Structure 1
Amino acid sequence: MSNDPRTHEVANAPVEQPGEAESPENDTPAPPERSRIAQLARSPFLWAFLFGIVLLTLIRPFLRNVPDPPPVIGEIPAFTLVNQDGEPFGSANLAGDVYIAGFIFTNCPAYCPKITQAMRGLQTKFEEGDVPVRLVSFSVDPERDTPPVLRRYGEEYGADFRRWNFLTGPPEELKRVIIDGFGAWYGPAPAKDVSLMEISHTLKLALVDDKGNLRGFYEHDESGTDEILHRAIHVLREAQRR
């Protein structure tokens, strides 16, 4: 037996097995968790899923289920008035379109700004959802609400005149359309209300279908505009199924 210490050093040295060679530090594989995250980030399915969530959030208001279409209340008679550009505009221009009508006058200090702002909000939502519902504001003060006045008023509220028209015309024709047709009302305000408005009128928004039928009146507050928005879309779908 050899007493050479070198012999013992060789005998006790660890034997390197095949495939166990030490790798450089830079070749250390990434932790499994990090690898999985990187793979997910590159996955087209993940991005499609996220896009779907965002899209659903945007269009969700337009997918709300309304069980039954609003009933037909009456028929709006044929009419021709004048819009903010001084051009004839009436039922013939609206034929085949669903629209929402409001009743205002530009000197109104109380409710009309709220009604017009509510219609401005509807315009925004219809534009975002690419929903072809139109808007019409009928003036109940034709003597002062001339076409130029109505145009300035509409511009103040950001009206898109391709979708939203402001109408005036002969007093008798307006009364025939608003009172006889819509079944709405307007006239001189009672003495106790003169400080709020000179003209008393319907404060609700009206929904009219593509055949010129009146389908309902709705409040101009947030709850009412949310309801008329979904009802309008339901009536639009009803028309598209015909």
Structure 2
Amino acid sequence: MQFMLKHSFKLAVSALVVLMGIYLYLTYGGSSNGTQKLPVMYSAPDFTMTDAVSGNDVKFSDSNGKVRLVYFYWANCPDVCPPTTQLMSQVQDKLQADGQFGTDVEFYSITFDPERDTPEAIKKYSSKFHADYNGWKFLRGEEKSTAELVTKFKDLIVFKDPETNEFSHLDLIALVDRNGNVRKYIEGNHDGTPTTADTIMKDIRSVLKA
């Protein structure tokens, strides 16, 4: 019975995550053509967390004036987090080539598994994707406050299996404009997803022009 309950929980959570992902993609997904203006969805929550690389506190609103991509992840993720982080790395390369990374656009990767995602583990994880820390912040805070922060990004969802301490979550990147408004959820990089570095660049350019 315990085996059935454990796996029933995982199946139910996985099904909900898939359904919510489909809903959000159909509602907010796709990509702008570079000229379409993305609507303002809501004001992104402000927060302060520790930069796992530098050890400094980072306040999100201090980066107002820049376009930001915000992604919640965990380094032990067995499926979607690594390919989506790799996708962000490809976007980083394009922004660097344009001279905009760190100056006009920043990335925020926030772990919701701080117990296992120590600063050392995060440095090891981020180095796999040749992250440029001048424009890419890998943040960590207390697990409870991070879970609360996820809910403040409204349509983002994270579940923790109490039996295994494994996580299930929506693989979405929040696109935040210069004024701190969430403008879109971008589908991450997993099977069947049409998102590419080029489509994300179109969305970023659309917001930069706004």
- TM tier relative to shorter chain: 0.7 to 0.9
User: Relative to total residues, which structure has the larger helix share, 1 or 2?
Assistant: 1
Post-superposition offset of 1:90? 2.4
Structure 1 runs not aligned, ≥5 long = 1-63
How has the CA–CA distance of structure 1 residues 66 and 190 changed in structure 2, closer, same or farther, with 3 Å as cutoff? farther
Q: Does 1:146 align with 2:137?
A: no
Q: Does 1:76 align with 2:44?
A: yes
What is the RMSD computed on CA atoms of the aligned residues?
A: 2.2
Q: Which runs of 4+ in 1 moved over 3 A?
A: none
Q: Which of structures 1 and 2 has the bigger CA Rg?
A: 1
- Could you tell me whether the CA contact under 8 Å between 1:218 and 1:227 is conserved in 2? no
- SS of 1:223's partner is coil
> C-alpha distance in 1, partners of 2:181/2:90?
24
- Normalised by the length of structure 1, the TM-score is 0.65
Post-superposition offset of 1:136? 1.0
Q: 2:175 is matched by which residue type in structure 1? A: L
Specify which structure has the bigger relative contact order, considering alpha-carbon pairs within 8 angstroms and separated by 6 or more residues.
Answer: 2
- SS of 2:195's partner is helix
How has the CA–CA distance of structure 1 residues 189 and 71 changed in structure 2, closer, same or farther, with 3 Å as cutoff? farther
Deviations 1:125-182 (A, max 9, x none): 1111222211111112121112222122111210000011111101232123222235
1:60-209 to 2 correspondences below 5 Å: 66-84=34-52, 85-131=54-100, 132-189=104-161, 198-209=166-177
- Normalised by the length of structure 2, the TM-score is 0.74
> C-alpha distance in 2, partners of 1:182/1:155?
30
Structure 2 runs not aligned, ≥5 long = 1-31
- SS of 1:218's partner is strand
> C-alpha distance in 2, partners of 1:214/1:139?
19
- Counterpart residue number, 1:223: 194
How has the CA–CA distance of structure 1 residues 145 and 182 changed in structure 2, closer, same or farther, with 3 Å as cutoff? farther
